[in-house]
Amino acid sequence: MTARKKIVNSFIFLFLSALAIAFLVPIFVVFLNSFKTKFSIVGSPFELPTQETFVGLENYIYGIKTAGLLKAFGLSLFITVSSVVVIVVCCSMTAWYVTRVKTKGTRILYTLFIFSMIVPFQMVMYTMTYTVFQLHLNNPVGIILVYLGFGSGLSVFMLSGFIKSVPIEVEEAAMIDGCSPLQSFFLVVFPILKPTAITVAILNTMWIWNDFLLPYLVLGADKTMPVAIQLTMQGAYGSINWGGFMAMLVIAIIPIVVFYITCQKHIIKGVVAGAVKG
């Protein structure tokens, strides 16, 4: 390795390390403040807890009792798991169809999926909310269909890129053996899609678990984790119990961080497969 290449690699390493630290500092600050009194959080958020400001697990106990955390956790878990399963199954079938069936209609459909990726949620927020209420989808089951609509753009795009690399001869051989189109997809194509399907599942899991605005607009009295944390930790006249707020954020972050660290190798593998092979 030449001296110039070593310098370049060292510079890249330092840059990426600084970037990682910049992303981790806010999480560390939240964790730090979850053990402090609410007044010390407001006055000195970046200072370490002292004997006077350290409150132990008091913020966590208060937050769990006040926010109804177990119910909110169960609802978030149900919506997240159900939505991800529906997105993976439906979008993989859609991606397979628009990739294999070459018609003007499928090309237009694929273009619409791509276009939906660049439309911000805020642009359709009010009309979407009105439609959801008119169709009586403003419940934990109905919101799964709403997430399917918003998550289909990126999911179909990634899965289509990978399906293009799957030889069509594999499906033709399954057809010759007596498989129907659906059997051919689920028994032959879908197992091959595993790397990208796992990636799609992971990305959608992180998005849906952390989503605040859509459940807040649609579910009403049913509160997911982000909504419960925001509403229950906010008091009268705009006051916020920052200690309980920070503690609840830590609890909400832990599951998704553990999930991401466990599955990060699948994300890299799936993104590369869907992008390069497509």
pTM for the full predicted model: 0.80
- Tell me what pLDDT residue 267 has: 65
pLDDT in tens, 118-170: 888 778 888 888 888 888 888 888 899 999 988 888 888 888 888 888 788 88
Q: Cα 26 from chain centroid?
A: 19
Q: How confident is the model at residue 270 (pLDDT cuts 50, 70, 90)?
A: low
Per the structure block, which two tokens stand in for 5? Answer: 């290449």
CB-CB neighbours of 263 under 10 Å: 17
Residue 274 has pLDDT above 70, yes or no: no
Q: Find tokens 């966590």 and name the residue.
A: 60
Q: How confident is the model at residue 275 (pLDDT cuts 50, 70, 90)?
A: very low
Residue 236 has pLDDT above 70, yes or no: no
Average pLDDT over residues 224-247: 75
**Any idea how long the chain is?**
278
Average pLDDT over residues 52-63: 80
Residue 265 has pLDDT above 80, yes or no: no
Per the structure block, which two tokens stand in for 81? Answer: 């798991």
Residue 42 has pLDDT above 80, yes or no: no
Q: Which residues have CB under 8 Å from 201's CB, separation 6+?
A: 84, 87, 88
Q: How far apart are CA 41 and CA 50, in angstroms?
A: 12
Report the SS3 class of residue 242.
helix
pLDDT in tens, 20-39: 888 888 888 888 888 888 77
Report the SS3 class of residue 234.
strand
Q: What is the mean pLDDT of the chain?
A: 82
Top pLDDT among 66 and 246 is at 246
Residue 82 has pLDDT above 90, yes or no: yes
Domains of the chain, each with CATH number or no CATH: 56-276 (1.10.3720.10)
